[in-house]
Chain A
Amino acid sequence: MKLEEHLKKYFNYTTFRTGQKEVISSILEGNHTIAMLPTGTGKSLCYQLSGYLLKGQVIIISPLLSLMQDQTEQLMMNGEKRVIAFNSFLTPQERKQALSQLNTYKFIFLSPEMLKSDFILNRLRELQIALFVIDEAHCISQWGYDFRPDYLKLGDFRRKLGNPLTLALTATATPEVKEELISSLSLKNWNEYIYSVDRPNIVLAVEVIDSYHDKSDRLVELVQNLEGPGIVYFSSKKMAEKMTIHLKQNGIDRVMAYHGGMEQENRVLIQQQFLHDQLDVICATSAFGMGINKENIRYVIHFHMPLQLESYLQEIGRAGRDGMKSIALLLYSPGDEQLPFQLAEGELPSEAQLDFVYHLLEEKNNSINDLGELENELISLSGLTEVQWRVVADYLFGNTKEPMQQRYVQLKVFINERLQVKRKKINDMLIWTQAQLNGCRRKNILKYFKEDKTIEIDDCCDQCGIDLTVFYPKTKNHKTADNFFDWKKHLAKILLVSERG
């Protein structure tokens, strides 16, 4: 059977998207494969279809709980029940049961901290592993924006599994990151498929606006005029909520906020309403968008600048998946970069927190036998987040050969380095935002990823010159809520009417 026929059989698609066929063929021929495919082009299909065509289990390492959740849901929606995700959501009982019948699964997702568990490793070794997938492979790089210390254990973990056939997937990786990936996995032969991060149908624009107040006015104006549907990204939950109210007060009915602080049932509803065109605009934090397979998003506006160009590309990449012209607009006010700097610092433990933890441990006389009990106390007293704590714990308890004080110093050095990396990323973002000085935005963002801009595009970016009214619809399309409601008819529509007649 041809690959296309398999695609039709398993996913009911008729054609592959850019890169998918090449990557899948490479895997099926037994090659380790590195694939860099831009956001929104269906990376997960690469391992899903390969998995169906290979004998044995597919193991996927995925760094984000929400991402993992989303991918398992997608597989299940597609009728695949042999899926399991090992992460902190699993109760000990569920976990135990899943481990005892591991060979009944086809797709096994692991969060990075699971790489530390010898127990899981040993169970995995009993399987016939068809494919070892590293999702978001850029997390392996210490110089990447999204470094996960646990990813450093990948090479070792993979070796202990007997170096199974490997697929590394990412949307954004500079050549240096790729080198790091290859060396930490100690790959000798591999195929790589690197596609441009460029999405030619997305117009890039930055608007510099004097004040916060003007910015919210401008947002109203844009949302009123641009052809939807669209997403507006914010760096804070409160702001996303506040601007939702502001937009509503200005006559935009079909808008809702979405962020991680919302109840799960409401999150699902809002997301589904957007997918089914019951909403025109979502005011969101970065929690929104993962796995939102909505084809016709026409604009993505950033009310705050993201912490790095990688995230920016990822977020604007949600626009125009149908290939139609779409626009990415970043609203910048002088001083906006202060917030990202604050957020970046907040992601890492502060010096004071580190000192606090260290001294508390010293007080306990280094007699740490039961870390579990001490752990909760330390976390709550120091105010560290779970991710922060994992980094700290990794350094202070990971390598017990060296004296505590030395490990503590190493931890401080590490955190300082991370901070420098993050600051540099924000600066790069800022420089790009202020590109008036040095030309085409597309060229600059490609340069950042060490790519050249090779094609000329009409409506490229604000620097090359664009006409925003192209993105205004011919007729105003903001629908207002329907006032007439007959509950029996509505219920009948849900339960009695079928599209099949």
Chain B
Amino acid sequence: MIESSYHIKNKFPKKNRIILIMDMFVSVNLRLCDMMKNSYLSMIVLYCLHKINGERTIYSILHLLNGKKSSQTIQDAHIFNLTTFFSTFPLLKRAELDMHIDILNKQGFVSTNAEQSYCVTSVGLKQLEEYFKPNPIPANLNGWKFHNLTDLFWERLSLAIQVISHLKNRNSKYLPIQKSKEHHKWLKGYLYKCKLSKDELAEKLYDELVACLETMDGLDPSIFVKRVTGYQIIGLTEAQAADQFDMDEEAYHIQFLSILHYMLEKVGTKQGDFPLLSCMIEDKKRATPLTESSNRTFNLLQMGYRLEEIAQMRKLKKNTIEDHLVEIALNIPNFDISAFVNIDKQKEIKMAINSVSSKQLKYIRELVPDVDYFEIRLVLAKGGEKK
């Protein structure tokens, strides 16, 4: 485990050996407490393993948690009902995931069924139930819907609160908590657009925040508020806050994300009630949750181009465009796939899907040999998730 976290690509590690050894000594201790602390993430991994049911490798979970924007990952997230976790741990490393799997395996919660593929054991299932019963995964968590807004919303909101707090106190000498020049530029425009006096602005923002957070179910607003910085009050880091709530960092992280997702949802659906908050992400909201590239394909489709034409126009492989189509089928509720799979074929495929216990394409295709994988994927995407 320790070895794997010290991939030394460097061909000449020798000279640094002593330092490395010293660091390792330290890291063993750190890692041990990590292992104890990381149990929440282990449980999330266990939950994901349970959902994918041995039909994907463990690294599909890595891609999911990292929020990799590949069609495969996006499809898997939908097929296996794991969209909530999409992009919730963007910095998780392969070696860390291996470590969690290792811990789960040693405890008998999972057993391997193929290379890099695991199934949850009955002990594991019981563990899942016991673990999440007292502290369930927050219902507001929605990684897929908000993954491209979450960080931005927090960065802008935290900066706005800090700046408005200093404006209220008429203090102009302080260090902005967010360093990105883009955010600074955005804030300037934002303050200008609000057309409110310094005191009004602070008051209105306070009212909106309270109104938004007050009605939240099952989540403690303090989890969010402790992170906020203002005049002579500096917010806590994630680790500090987790510490104060006596949670492990990953558990805290999920709760914090859930609050942001809750806010995004609420503010997005009731823009009239939250003009200041909803305005913070107004410019970044896209009409569809598609990736940039898929969105372009979608636009061309709507203009009446055929799949092959689009591939040619965009100088992309046909496969890639097919991936886009699957992504579109997953995300655009009334997207009609019959232009690509006729109704009869769709019925045939649906029957095959229902009679097979697996979501692996090759088993489905064995029952309907005359269709291709693309057609199965489209129907899977459209037919959604088997209940």
Select which of A78, A239, A256, A488 is within 8 A of B210 by beta carbon: A488
Is the beta-carbon distance between A238 and B236 smaller than 8 angstroms? no
Is the beta-carbon distance between A383 and B9 smaller than 8 angstroms? yes
Q: How far is the CA of A496 from the CA of B202 in the complex (A)?
A: 7
Residue in chain A with minimal CB distance to B12: A352
**A485-B226, A487-B222 as given contacts; A342 in contact with B161, CB under 8 Å:** no
For A491, what are the chain B residues with a Cβ–Cβ distance below 8 Å? 206, 209-210, 225, 228
Is the beta-carbon distance between B16 and A236 smaller than 8 angstroms? no
Q: How far is the CA of A269 from the CA of B235 in the complex (A)?
A: 7
**A242-B29, A264-B179, A353-B12 as given contacts; A494 in contact with B228, CB under 8 Å:** yes
For B140, what are the chain A residues with a Cβ–Cβ distance below 8 Å? none
Q: Does B61 contact A (CB under 8 A)?
A: no
Q: How far is the CA of A242 from the CA of B210 in the complex (A)?
A: 39
For B178, what are the chain A residues with a Cβ–Cβ distance below 8 Å? 265
Q: Does A490 contact B (CB under 8 A)?
A: yes
For A487, what are the chain B residues with a Cβ–Cβ distance below 8 Å? 213, 220-222, 224-226
Q: Does B271 contact A (CB under 8 A)?
A: no
- Segment of B20-28, B328-336, B378-386 engaged in the interface with chain A: B20-28
Q: Does B339 contact A (CB under 8 A)?
A: no
Is the beta-carbon distance between B11 and A356 smaller than 8 angstroms? yes
Is the beta-carbon distance between B203 and A495 smaller than 8 angstroms? yes
Q: Does B205 contact A (CB under 8 A)?
A: yes
- The contact string, 1 if C-beta is below 8 Å from chain A, for chain B 198-239, is 010011011001100100000011101110111111111111
**A268-B175, A487-B221 as given contacts; A494 in contact with B230, CB under 8 Å:** yes
Is the beta-carbon distance between A78 and B173 smaller than 8 angstroms? yes
Is the beta-carbon distance between A238 and B205 smaller than 8 angstroms? no
Q: How far is the CA of A92 from the CA of B177 in the complex (A)?
A: 25
> Which residue, A238, A245, A381, A499, has most C-beta atoms of chain B within 10 A?
A238
Nearest chain A CB to B211 CB, angstrom units: 11
Is the beta-carbon distance between A266 and B237 smaller than 8 angstroms? yes
Q: How far is the CA of A161 from the CA of B175 in the complex (A)?
A: 34
For A346, what are the chain B residues with a Cβ–Cβ distance below 8 Å? 15-16, 19
Q: How far is the CA of A481 from the CA of B30 in the complex (A)?
A: 24
Q: How far is the CA of A490 from the CA of B240 in the complex (A)?
A: 17
Q: Does A213 contact B (CB under 8 A)?
A: no
For A238, what are the chain B residues with a Cβ–Cβ distance below 8 Å? 22-23, 26-27, 30
Residue in chain B with minimal CB distance to A486: B222
Is the beta-carbon distance between B175 and A338 smaller than 8 angstroms? no
Interface size class of A (residues with CB under 8 A): 35 or more
Q: Does B244 contact A (CB under 8 A)?
A: yes
Q: Does A272 contact B (CB under 8 A)?
A: yes
Select which of A239, A273, A343, A345 is within 8 A of B26 by beta carbon: A239
- Segment of B162-170, B282-290, B368-376 engaged in the interface with chain A: B162-170
Residue in chain A with minimal CB distance to B165: A494
Q: How far is the CA of A268 from the CA of B176 in the complex (A)?
A: 9
Q: Does A53 contact B (CB under 8 A)?
A: no
**A238-B26, A242-B29 as given contacts; A485 in contact with B222, CB under 8 Å:** yes
- The DSSP consensus for interface residues of chain A is helix
Q: Does A270 contact B (CB under 8 A)?
A: yes
Q: How far is the CA of A114 from the CA of B329 in the complex (A)?
A: 51
Is the beta-carbon distance between A270 and B230 smaller than 8 angstroms? no
- The contact string, 1 if C-beta is below 8 Å from chain A, for chain B 169-200, is 11011110111000000000000000000010
Is the beta-carbon distance between A493 and B233 smaller than 8 angstroms? yes
Select which of A242, A268, A495 is within 8 A of B230 by beta carbon: A495
Q: How far is the CA of A414 from the CA of B255 in the complex (A)?
A: 55
Q: Does B303 contact A (CB under 8 A)?
A: no
Is the beta-carbon distance between B19 and A494 smaller than 8 angstroms? no
Nearest chain A CB to B15 CB, angstrom units: 5
Q: How far is the CA of A338 from the CA of B19 in the complex (A)?
A: 10
For A493, what are the chain B residues with a Cβ–Cβ distance below 8 Å? 230, 233
Q: Does B355 contact A (CB under 8 A)?
A: no
**A236-B23, A485-B222 as given contacts; A269 in contact with B177, CB under 8 Å:** yes
Q: How far is the CA of A78 from the CA of B169 in the complex (A)?
A: 16
Residue in chain B with minimal CB distance to A346: B16
Q: Does A41 contact B (CB under 8 A)?
A: no
> Which residue, B173, B175, B210, has most C-beta atoms of chain A within 10 A?
B175
Q: Does A382 contact B (CB under 8 A)?
A: yes
Residue in chain A with minimal CB distance to B25: A238
* A-B residue pair count with CB separations less than 8 angstroms: 137
For A79, what are the chain B residues with a Cβ–Cβ distance below 8 Å? 172-173
**A239-B26, A383-B11, A495-B161 as given contacts; A265 in contact with B230, CB under 8 Å:** no
**A269-B229, A487-B221 as given contacts; A236 in contact with B19, CB under 8 Å:** yes
Q: Does A73 contact B (CB under 8 A)?
A: yes
Q: Does B18 contact A (CB under 8 A)?
A: yes
For A188, what are the chain B residues with a Cβ–Cβ distance below 8 Å? none
Nearest chain A CB to B154 CB, angstrom units: 9
Is the beta-carbon distance between B206 and A342 smaller than 8 angstroms? no
Is the beta-carbon distance between A242 and B170 smaller than 8 angstroms? no
> Which residue, A256, A276, A487, A490, has most C-beta atoms of chain B within 10 A?
A487
**A342-B16, A353-B12, A487-B222 as given contacts; A494 in contact with B233, CB under 8 Å:** yes
Is the beta-carbon distance between A350 and B222 smaller than 8 angstroms? no
Is the beta-carbon distance between A495 and B15 smaller than 8 angstroms? no
Q: Does A278 contact B (CB under 8 A)?
A: yes
Select which of B12, B169, B205, B231 is within 8 A of A383 by beta carbon: B12
For A413, what are the chain B residues with a Cβ–Cβ distance below 8 Å? none
For B135, what are the chain A residues with a Cβ–Cβ distance below 8 Å? none
- The contact string, 1 if C-beta is below 8 Å from chain B, for chain A 257-299, is 0000000111011111100101000000000000000000000
For A256, what are the chain B residues with a Cβ–Cβ distance below 8 Å? 237, 240
Residue in chain B with minimal CB distance to A348: B15
Is the beta-carbon distance between A270 and B237 smaller than 8 angstroms? yes
For B220, what are the chain A residues with a Cβ–Cβ distance below 8 Å? 487
Q: How far is the CA of A276 from the CA of B175 in the complex (A)?
A: 12
For A381, what are the chain B residues with a Cβ–Cβ distance below 8 Å? 11
Is the beta-carbon distance between B205 and A495 smaller than 8 angstroms? yes
For A242, what are the chain B residues with a Cβ–Cβ distance below 8 Å? 26, 29-30
Please report which residues of chain A, range 390-420, place their CB below 8 angstroms from some CB of chain B when the two chains form the complex. Answer: none
Q: Does A492 contact B (CB under 8 A)?
A: yes
Is the beta-carbon distance between A77 and B173 smaller than 8 angstroms? yes
For A494, what are the chain B residues with a Cβ–Cβ distance below 8 Å? 161, 165, 228-231, 233
Select which of B12, B179, B230 is within 8 A of A356 by beta carbon: B12
Nearest chain B CB to A424 CB, angstrom units: 20
Is the beta-carbon distance between A350 and B15 smaller than 8 angstroms? yes
Nearest chain A CB to B14 CB, angstrom units: 8
Q: How far is the CA of A272 from the CA of B177 in the complex (A)?
A: 9
Residue in chain A with minimal CB distance to B162: A494
Residue in chain B with minimal CB distance to A500: B170
Q: Does A469 contact B (CB under 8 A)?
A: no
Residue in chain B with minimal CB distance to A264: B179
Is the beta-carbon distance between A272 and B237 smaller than 8 angstroms? no
For A475, what are the chain B residues with a Cβ–Cβ distance below 8 Å? none
Q: Does A113 contact B (CB under 8 A)?
A: no
Select which of A236, A241, A382, A498 is within 8 A of B11 by beta carbon: A382
Further pairs besides A245-B33, A272-B229: 9, Cβ < 8 Å: A77-B173, A238-B30, A265-B177, A269-B235, A276-B232, A494-B231, A495-B203, A496-B203, A496-B206
A residues sitting closer than 8 Å to B (CB atoms) are: 73, 77-79, 236, 238-239, 241-242, 245, 256, 264-266, 268-273, 276, 278, 338-339, 342-343, 345-346, 350, 352-353, 356, 380-383, 481, 485, 487-488, 490-496, 498-500
**26 intermolecular pairs with C-beta atoms under 8 Å apart:** A73-B175, A77-B173, A78-B173, A236-B23, A238-B23, A241-B26, A269-B229, A269-B235, A271-B175, A272-B175, A272-B229, A278-B234, A382-B10, A383-B10, A487-B224, A487-B226, A490-B222, A494-B231, A494-B233, A495-B161, A495-B164, A495-B165, A496-B206, A498-B169, A498-B199, A500-B169
